[in-house]
Structure formats: C-alpha cells, structure tokens
C-alpha cells in the first residue's frame, strides 16, 4: 500500500505508472559534466537499461535531457520493470552499469562546485 498525503494531490502531478499491476515505470537520474557528448550519454544510458535482465523491452527505455543544472547536464533514464516491489535492486544495478560505461567512455559525473570571491574591506 502507498499512502499519499492529500496536499500532494493539490501541488503536484500524480502518475500511476503501475496501472494497478506489478510492472512499473522507474527512473534513474544522473548528471554529467558540461561539455560531454550528450548523444553518447543518451546511448550509454539506454545501453545500461537495455542490458539489465529485469528491464522489459516494451515499452522501450527512454532518456530525457531534463535540465542544464548548476554543475551538470541532467538526464533521466526511464525504463519498465516487471516487479514494482523489488525495483531498488535493478535500479542500483543500472547505476553501477552507468558508472562503468561512463568511466569506459570518459564521461564524468561532476560534483557541485562554487566560486568564492573574498572582498576585503577598504582600509581607512
């Protein structure tokens, strides 16, 4: 059973991706460094999902380029699993595979970075 607070119905979009069955649409988000080849990123993400034995081929996995983030280009990999109650393990496996594929193809996952400017007060 899933309990959803009433205020979420008013402030968010609610999608029932399971359609009351055991299959479910899941997603994994990842950010890559600015300057990365976004078409290669898309290809590698699709490869990571398609190669997992619990990811269903229909509907096919999909990739969304969701944002130009503060420190990264942000992507969402969407795929369908055959067991919504055990989704955490395939999602973890897919993250491991994404990391491996990105390392092999020199795609880096950046960490947040900030520039700090120190302004010294004027001496009187």
Q: What is the pLDDT of residues 67-82, one digit of tens each?
A: 999 899 999 999 999 8
Least-confidence region, from 75-79, 96-100, 106-110, 111-115: 111-115
pLDDT of residue 14: 63
pLDDT at 89: 94
Contacts of 42 (CB under 8 A, 6+ apart): 63, 65, 75
Query: Tell me, what's the pLDDT at 81?
Result: 93
Ranking 64-68, 70-74, 92-96, 114-118 by mean pLDDT, the lowest is: 114-118
Question: What are the contacts of 9-12 at 24+ separation with CB within 8 A?
Answer: none
Taking the model in full, what pTM does it have? 0.76
Domain boundaries, the chain: 16-104
Domain 16-104 coded CATH 3.40.50.10810: no
């Amino acid at each position: 059973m899933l309990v959803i607070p009433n205020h979420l119905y008013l402030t968010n979009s609610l999608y029932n991706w399971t359609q009351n069955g055991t299959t479910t649409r899941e997603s994994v988000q990842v950010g890559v460094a600015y300057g990365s080849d976004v078409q290669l990123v898309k290809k590698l993400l699709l490869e990571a999902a398609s190669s997992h034995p619990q990811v269903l081929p229909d509907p096919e996995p999909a990739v969304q380029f969701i944002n130009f983030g503060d420190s990264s280009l942000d992507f969402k990999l969407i795929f369908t699993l055959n067991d919504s109650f055990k989704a955490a393990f395939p999602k973890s496996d897919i993250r491991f595979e994404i990391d491996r594929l990105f390392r092999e193809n020199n795609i880096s996952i950046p960490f947040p970075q900030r520039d700090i400017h120190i302004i010294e007060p004027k001496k009187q």
